[in-house]
Amino acid sequence: MTRRLLAFSLACALGAAPVFATDLASATTDDGGQSASRNKPAQVKQLGTVDVNAALDQARNALSPDTGSSQYVIDQKAIAQLPLGDSTPLNQVILQAPGVVQDSYGGLHVRGDHANLQYRINGVIIPESISGFGQTLDARTIQNVKLLDGALPAQYGLRTAAVVDITTKSGHDLGNGGSVGVTGGSFGTLNPNASLWGGNDRWSYFLTANYLESDVGVENPTSSRKPVHDHTNQVKGFGDISYLIDSDTRLSFLFGVSNSRFQIPNNPGQEPAFGYLDTVDFDSAKLDERQQEKTRFGVLALQGKLGATDYQVSLGQRYSSLDFTPDLVGDLMFNGVASDISRSNRASTLQADFATPLGDSHTLRYGLYGSFERAPSSNDAWVFPADEDGNQTSTTPIEILDGNRITARTWSGYVQDEWSIGDKLTVNYGVRGDVYKAFRTESQLSPRLGAVYQATDSTTLHAGYSRYFTPPATEAITTTNIAKFDGTTNAVSNPGNATPLAERSDYFDAGVQQQLGALTLGLDAYYRKVRRLQDEGQFGAALVYSTFNYAKGRIKGVEFTANYDDGPFSAYFNLAASRAMGTRVITSQYNFDPDDLAYVADHYIFLDHDQAYSSSGGVSYAIGEATRVGADYLFGSGLRKDGDVPNGASLPSYFQLNLSLSHDFSFAGTGKLHTQLAVINALDRTYELRDGSGIGVGAPQFGPRRGYYLTVQKDF
């Protein structure tokens, strides 16, 4: 994309506000894409603080359309009905949506993509933390979460596999109060939590914090019931404080923090490959590798109305770090290298979104986004001298220091029009410009087109096309001074291109939704043609991912959903089929086996995170007003592993069933006490997520074994 084209697109986004700010049309769209009335400013000024917040929340929805894309909503009620309720990790909540596949270290794949998720809280983008297995966000903060994927409108970009759009709980809606509780159970699990919420005139707040310790912090590398050396301690906190400046304007401060420590689990019975001084034997069950992850973020957001224009402008910053501490002797003997790795990333962001109604049939949306990132890293590595064939020539290790600092800048602008053609058809068309500058400058102008047709009162059709530009995740870029390791046991045979490239793709999506009373059915199909397809792999002992590119990729799939909610009974069912393939590794070749590179250079292979079939579902039934029973499940046909060719086979399919029973006890003196019993993997079926083979796969990982957990929660 030329600079003139980019400047023109940004000028359109920035210049549209004053041109149309005086148009006082009252039509907007709600989450379903249908026409809804908006309160006029004169009416809003007569409302109380709760109603003013409700009007501003409705206006915020007008800033975030989903026309032409696929949407799956999980609200607070649905989260509470999961076996672990509000103690469910966020990634496990998102796994209840169609087309989402679980991976090791808490990773998720949506529609055949690796990571590439965009997280938004109340419409504000929160940059991802450094890849790892800590869950920064807490399900207790969620009022509802929407998973948006498919052909997204122009206002969504950069991270495009899916948008995880979280609406937080509000102190004004909940009233003054709080909650304390604890979840405990198998594998030494202890998870106390506390929340506080309320409002006073113009102020509103929601605060929550929890602590978790468990003896299963990372997936077990063996099928044993209890992993060896796998303890974790995690502390998390979140806050949302808002102030009504006037009846049309709200200032909010969002902040969060997490600090997680993990022992890296051991795989007993492994044989050392290298000698260390006079030592030739080492018990792999006694390795002592550890990893610590920290994340904190803060966002100041101003939301309101200027005439008929809704707006939200925010300034934010996110800092995350990862520190891996090796077992010096053990890592040298098993891997030939022991690396003390430190990585951090600080992202400062600016985001502005506007929505202006134009007459009765158009809504113009426009905005910009900018981020500035600094990502220093260091690698204090110990290695053995080696000959040209990689054979160890000395048992005395040598130290090599390696470090770098990446600076990345991203600028984006968009403009789009939502056009209501009659009562049944809505078309959303627009264009987006993105520029990413790190090692090189890359940019793209991306057209978007989506349509929703309300065929009948119960039948909705949607279709869309989006051109996507996905820069590499700065926090996942690793640059190593390869020459420093020549003549050592950490030398590489094929340096290749060490700098990852931005991905460019064409995305097509179409679907239908049918309402049959309390039953909602959905069917969606998609196809993505990709150049410079991005993938991530774990290379080395540290549990952190690094980015690389295939020259081309082809990803396609279909999803079916069914949701039923009527009185005391609710149920959901999702089934997805997907195929994700790529060919020719064109960056970070030094991480790969030369034979794998040679094969992939001339053949399409399945991506390591490809899973042919996945399914999730659940049922919940209320027995009276105080008791509820439920169950949910996850099914997968298995991620990829090496066969006759790289990623040429798949692991066995798996099925995990979870059960729950909750009851609310009422006491005359203290009121209601909520209790919930959960059984995770009730059938205790052993299944393997990874076997350690495949492109970019670091080690074996198994799913959880049967566990029993009891939650006791008291609101006040």
Q: What is the pLDDT of residues 605-625, one digit of tens each?
A: 999 999 999 999 999 999 988
Q: What is the pLDDT of residues 19-40, one digit of tens each?
A: 323 332 333 333 333 333 323 3
Mean pLDDT in residue range 360-382: 93
Helix (H, G, I), strand (E, B) or coil at 370: strand
With beta carbons less than 8 A apart as the criterion, state whether 74 and 596 touch.
no
Range of the domain at 401: 3-173+289-715
With beta carbons less than 8 A apart as the criterion, state whether 366 and 312 touch.
no
Q: What is the pLDDT of residues 159-191, one digit of tens each?
A: 999 999 999 998 888 889 999 999 999 999 999
With beta carbons less than 8 A apart as the criterion, state whether 306 and 317 touch.
no
What is the rounded CA–CA span in Å between residue 168 and residue 181? 20
What is the rounded CA–CA span in Å between residue 658 and residue 650? 24
> Is residue 635 one of the residues assigned to a domain?
yes
The DSSP bridge pattern shows strands 203-214 and 69-75 to be unpaired
Helix (H, G, I), strand (E, B) or coil at 503: strand
The residue behind tokens 């390696």 is: 402
> Is residue 82 one of the residues assigned to a domain?
yes
> Is residue 32 one of the residues assigned to a domain?
yes
Q: How confident is the model at residue 48 (pLDDT cuts 50, 70, 90)?
A: low
Which CATH number characterizes residue 356's domain?
2.40.170.20
With beta carbons less than 8 A apart as the criterion, state whether 676 and 714 touch.
no
> Is residue 655 one of the residues assigned to a domain?
yes
Number of domains within the chain: 1
Residue 233 has pLDDT above 70, yes or no: yes
> Is residue 710 one of the residues assigned to a domain?
yes
Mean pLDDT in residue range 298-319: 94
Question: What pLDDT is attached to residue 12?
Answer: 39
For the ranges 59-73, 453-467, 598-612, 696-710, the lowest mean pLDDT is seen at: 59-73
Strand order in 124-126's β-sheet? 69-75, 142-150, 162-168, 117-121, 124-126
> Is residue 225 one of the residues assigned to a domain?
no
Structure token digits, residue 649: 């086979």
Q: How confident is the model at residue 4 (pLDDT cuts 50, 70, 90)?
A: very low
Contacts of residue 69, Cβ cutoff 8 Å, sequence gap at least 6: 148, 149, 150, 151, 152, 153, 156, 450, 462, 464, 509
Question: What pLDDT is attached to residue 519?
Answer: 94
> Is residue 684 one of the residues assigned to a domain?
yes
Q: In sequence order, what DSSP letters do the residues of 555-602 get, joined into one string? A: EEEEEEEEEEEETTEEEEEEEEEEEEEEEEE-S-GGGS-HHHHHHHTT
Mean per-residue pLDDT over the chain, rounded: 87
The residue behind tokens 């909503």 is: 73
What is the rounded CA–CA span in Å between residue 413 and residue 16? 12
- Please name the amino acid found at residue 654: Y
Mean pLDDT in residue range 332-357: 93
Mean pLDDT in residue range 574-584: 95
For the ranges 201-215, 266-280, 359-373, 481-495, the lowest mean pLDDT is seen at: 481-495
Question: What pLDDT is attached to residue 328?
Answer: 94
> Is residue 215 one of the residues assigned to a domain?
no
Helix (H, G, I), strand (E, B) or coil at 47: coil
What is the rounded CA–CA span in Å between residue 138 and residue 79? 12
Q: What is the pLDDT of residues 496-532, one digit of tens each?
A: 677 889 999 999 999 999 999 999 999 999 999 999 9
